[in-house]
Structure 1
Amino acid sequence: MKVLLVAKAPVAGQVKTRLGAVIGAEPAAGLAAAALLDTIEACREAGAEGHLSLAGDLRDAVRGGAIAAALDGWTVTPQQGDGFAERLVRAHADAGPGVVVQIGMDTPHVTAAALAEVADGLATHDAVLAPAEDGGWWALGRRDPRVVRHVARVVMSTSETCTDTRHALELAGCTVGRASTMTDVDTVEDADVVAALAPHTRFARAWRSARPRGVA
């Protein structure tokens, strides 16, 4: 199994902007860095070959040195293309054929078992989607990178993104499996949920330090 991690360098003001509006840009970047490190660790625990498709430069990032060290042995390629959908297609092309599980950096509570569930579904399906609670998806598994071209027409970051992604893949003739739903972190409420689910992660520790008192 290969994991394709699509992520941004955690630079203040460029990541976790919704949380940054509440807690500040620098703490939000710290949360993003912690989430990225937790995700890389889960990939290693899964025994996965790692491929990072990166937007931005780790030299400018919070905890950039620690992230670079954690990526030892990984393939790192820059994101290319106009818009997220095109960058996604390019990233999958870079990752190549075979069993690939694509994830982002918004699920720091992801586990090796959750990644394996997505990969296992590819034994009987052309693609596997793992829904997010907000209507998106947190993981996409595939064997052939060409199937991701059909995802490029889907509008991302809506309450229908997962449903629309499934429909696009099925219309293209793909069989699509489903894996477990997870919460991805965009808001204070999301961060509270994820930190409670995985209290020993770097993300949870960072959130306990960054969360403003009195925020509902």
Structure 2
Amino acid sequence: MKTRLTPPLEPEQAAALARAALTDTLAAVAAARGAARRVVVLDGQPGPWLPPGFEVIPQRGDGLDERLAAAFEDVGAPAFLVGMDTPQVTPSLIEQGLRTVRGGGTAFGTALDGGFWCIGLQPGDHPVFDGVPMSTERTGAVQLARMRARGLTPAILKPLRDVDTYEDAVAVAREAHGSHFAALLAEFALEEEIAV
């Protein structure tokens, strides 16, 4: 996980930081009001990081576009999906997306690197992922264009910076005061004398 954080972090530190980001994201999802279900779409078995009240379904598909489409298809209900790369996400941001999908709409939030941090869809909307190039600086723009081409008018949520590089991690930690992510990054910075 998070290989672009190394260096300056060691691989074990990068993995621990990814786990902290996931923990913070799950905490925000747990605190958000209005979700009928809380689902983690996972490749593998959940660890002790999974809080109570979350259902786990397996990831399926080859590429990220297929896995995203399968997640929405498997949930089978209006759903708002949040990635785990934005530990600064707040319950209120999640609630905005949930309100939109509960009201029959769609939602979308771009990431500052050109991707996206969230997407909310209705049942049957999952083909919007077909052929969208993932993990590029144009992924978010292409995904939004694909949604609009299918006649969807998503509510646009606040853009967030996701964590890909060490510089991203530092910037996100500054936004996510009091988070596990920020505390762990500060600990690593002290251990390694990394400037934060």
Assess same fold via TM > 0.5. Answer: yes
Asked if the contact 2:173–2:181 (Cα under 8 Å) also holds between the matched residues in 1, the reply is yes
More strand by share: 1
| 1:134 aligns to 2:122 (yes or no) | no
Structure 1 distance, partners of 2:105, 2:142, is 16
TM alignment of 1:61-100, pairs within 5 A? 64-65=47-48, 67-68=49-50, 70=51, 72-98=52-78, 100=79
| Residue aligned with 2:80, SS | strand
Which of 131, 137, 140 aligns to 1:159? It is 137
Partner residue, 1:46: 32
CA pair 107-130 structure 1, distance change in 2 beyond 3 A: same
Residues 70, 126 of structure 2: 8 Å contact kept: no
* Residues 25-81 of structure 1 deviation map (CA, whole Å, 9 limit, x = unaligned): 1111111111111111101110332100012334xxxxx32x13x1x2211011111
The residue aligned with 2:17 is 31
Give 1:85 shift. Answer: 0.8
The match for 1:9 is none
Q: Does 1:55 align with 2:40?
A: no
Mapped partners of 2:91, 2:194: distance in 1: 35
Which residue does 1:12 correspond to in 2?
Answer: none
Distance 1:192 1:151 in 2: 31
Find 1:118's aligned residue among 97, 107, 112: 97
SS in 2 for 1:101: strand
Q: Which runs of 5+ in 2 are unaligned?
A: none
DSSP 3-state at the match of 1:120: helix
The yes-or-no answer on 1:107 pairing with 2:86 is yes
| RMSD (Å) for aligned C-alpha atoms | 1.8
Is contact 1:101-1:140 (8 Å) kept?
Answer: yes
The amino acid that maps onto 2:66 is E
Name the count of aligned residue pairs. 192
Q: Where does the alignment leave 5 or more consecutive residues of structure 1 unmatched?
A: 1-14, 59-63
Once the two structures are overlaid, the 10-residue window that deviates more, 201-210 or 72-81, is 72-81
Distance in 1, Cα, partners of 2:100 & 2:45 = 34
Q: TM-score, normalised by structure 2?
A: 0.90
Q: Give per-residue Cα distances to partners, 1:111-150, cap 9 Å, x unaligned.
A: 1101112223346774211011111110001122x21212
1:105 Cα deviation (Å)? 0.7
The code of the aligned residue for 1:51 comes to V
Q: Which amino acid aligns with 1:183?
A: R
- 1:11 corresponds in structure 2 to none
Is 1:200 the counterpart of 2:167? The answer is no
CA distance in 1: counterparts of 2:153 and 2:87, whole angstroms? 28
Distance 1:167 1:152 in 2: 12
Percent sequence identity over aligned pairs: 34
After the TM superposition, which residues 5-20 of structure 1 pair with which residues of structure 2 at under 5 Å, given as runs?
15-20=1-6
Deviations 1:129-177 (A, max 9, x none): 1011111110001122x21212131101111111111111111122222
